[in-house]
Amino acid sequence: MARVPVPRWSVRSRILAVILIVTALGMTVSGFAAFLVQRDRVVSGLDTELLASVEAARSIVTGETTATDGESTEVPELDTTPFTTVEAALGAVMRQLVPGRYESSVALIDGAPRFIPGTDIAFHLEDDPDFMARVASEAESGDVTLGTAVTTVGTLRYVAVPVTVEGDTATGVFVTAVDAQRAVDEVGISFLTYAGLALLSLVAIGGVGWFVAGRLLAPIRRLSDTASRITAEDISERIPVNGRDDVSALTETVNAMLDRIDEALTAQRQLLDDVRHELKTPITIVRGHLELLDPSRADDVAATRDLAIDELDRMTELVDDIDALARVERHEVLTEPVDVADLTRQVFSKVQGIAGREWVLDTVAEVVAPLSPSRITQAWVQLADNAAKYATPGTPVRLGSSVYAGTVEFWVADEGPGIPLDAQKRIFERFGRADTGRGIAGSGLGLPIVAAIARAHGGYVSLSSSVAGSRFGVVVPTVASEAPPPPAQGFLDPETDNDTAPLAVTER
């Protein structure tokens, strides 16, 4: 069954969608809450207006003014002493009280409408006989009634006040009512206005958010475009860095990653070129002798066989050295606290097995340093082996360890012809050799391996050479987190892949 392709949403669209959803949700919740609060305030305000009308009517009838709490729902009953009849009292009230907007009033005597306002009013209460019967019935108890009624006019909030006069048997009721539905509808209209403004605000926020998200994500788009153009043949392009935010930090990280990949690919291509060049010679030699081999001559077959085995051994040594160099450069060494004095004596006893040389143990550093004893031994023995091969015959080779400021050096010194100045950097490059007796044989990877081991320990290789001899050393810090100081005069900090490594020579 074929899979249905799922549409892909860009990060820009998802960011904008989240912003709009959260903003719309916040506007909706706050608007609805404001609507409910405002509606309650309107309803509460209606009750205040109705009670104020009752107080005004009481003042008209009695001629006295009594302050009331606008929030109280307790209304004093009317005292009609100044009037002799209920009709006179209600007539005075209806003449002097003018209903407000969405408000109306009526005066009832014995349950029948008797007076209505003389001004224009929003609606007529007397037109609804059911409502008239209701308020007349509620007034029979003699208490002021504050309530809500659904009438032909609409939903009304009303107050009914019974009016009696001593000596008059008639029963009067003063009723004033407000169209509560219209008042609440005004709040609804305001909410619709708010909803329209909120919609316009969402459109504006969407436009601004789309623009800002595009600006912020532009480096990521450039990163994607650059990554699509980068190939193994051309990895030189980098992403421009603008600003100092998280995206800029990501861009810098990616550029650093591209730098490391570029360096790795360059080193790989260089290594392959060097290996191809180094293997070409022994293969050519073996092929040439095999082509000229006379199978009928036993001595020719034996000689060709010995030569082929020798060249194959040389190629095996080359492959082993390449593998050792790659492993050292690819992995960090595991260090441990090591007594340098004990390590110095162990290495000295090992190099004494290299025949043909007089070995002299010189200085011994009494210090403990964090290092890999196997890797330091490998580098140190390699330096000793080089000195044994290329020192002047009959001269001793000295070996020792020395402590400097925050560092320890494992060194080997010989009394050979020295290394020319122009070759001192080249011998630390892969397959690099000097043009003297030193460095002509071998794979040309011994010193690069030594330099890689030194760098893996956070150190470097020191070199001091003159016509009187050469002194090689591996300098590493005595504290794991402490970087060694810059090389002093006569020391070399070789970067096997860097043609600008510093060189210095001290005449001895």
* pLDDT in 10s for each residue of the chain, 508 residues: 455 555 567 788 888 889 999 999 999 998 889 888 888 888 788 888 888 888 887 777 776 665 544 444 444 444 444 678 888 888 888 888 888 778 888 888 888 888 888 788 878 888 888 888 888 888 888 888 888 888 887 888 888 888 887 777 788 888 888 888 888 787 888 888 888 898 999 999 989 988 888 887 787 787 778 777 777 667 777 777 777 777 778 888 888 888 888 877 777 777 777 677 667 767 877 788 788 888 888 888 888 888 888 778 777 777 776 666 666 666 667 889 999 999 999 999 888 887 778 899 999 999 999 998 988 998 898 898 888 888 888 889 999 999 988 899 999 999 888 777 776 777 777 665 555 544 445 556 778 888 888 888 888 998 888 878 889 999 999 876 444 444 443 444 444 333 333 323 332 2
Task: Check whether residue 153 and residue 36 sit in a common domain.
Answer: yes
Q: Which two tokens stand for residue 24?
A: 């719309």
The CATH number covering residue 433 comes to 3.30.565.10
* Under 8 Å between Cβ of 151 and 131: yes
Residues 159 and 21 in one domain: yes
Write down which residue in 179, 196, 229 finishes a domain. Answer: 229
Query: Contact at 8 Å (CB) between 294 and 341?
Result: no
pTM of the predicted model, to two decimals?
A: 0.46
Under 8 Å CB-to-CB from 309, ≥6 apart: which residues? none
Residue ending a domain, among 325, 356, 386, is 325
| Residue 428 domain-assigned (yes or no) | yes
Residues 342 and 256 placed together within one structural domain of the fold:
no
Q: What is the CATH number of the domain that holds 321?
A: 1.10.287
342-366 tens-digit pLDDT: 999 999 988 888 777 889 999 999 9
Rounded CA separation 426/28 (Å) = 74
| Domain with 172 in it | 9-229
d(CA 177, CA 155): 10
- Are residues 83 and 215 located together in one domain of the fold? yes
Which residues have C-beta within 8 Å of that of residue 75, sequence separation ≥ 6? 51, 54, 55, 68, 144, 146, 159, 161
Q: Which residues contact 5 (CB under 8 A, 6 or more apart)?
A: none
Terminal CA-to-CA distance of the chain, rounded, Å?
A: 82
Give pairs for 164-167: CB < 8 Å, separation 24+: 164/80, 164/86, 165/80, 165/83, 165/84, 165/85, 165/86, 165/88, 165/89, 166/80, 166/81, 167/84
Residue 241 is assigned to a structural domain of this protein: no
Q: Are residues 121 and 160 in the same domain?
A: yes
Specify the DSSP class assigned to residue 13: H
At position 70, the amino acid (one-letter code) is G
Angstrom CA distances, 339 to 177, 188, 364, 367, 461, stand at: 103, 87, 11, 6, 20
Element housing 77 (H / E)? none
Among residues 273, 299, 325, which one ends one of the domains? Answer: 325
Domain co-membership, 344 together with 318: no
- 204 shares a domain with 317: no
Domain check: are 266 and 411 in the same one?
no
Torsion of CA 370, 375, 376, 380, to 10 degrees: 180
Residue 164 belongs to a domain: yes
Structure tokens at 79: 């005292």
Count of domains for the chain: 3
Tokens coding 351: 């190099």
The H-or-E segment that residue 206 falls in is: helix 180-229
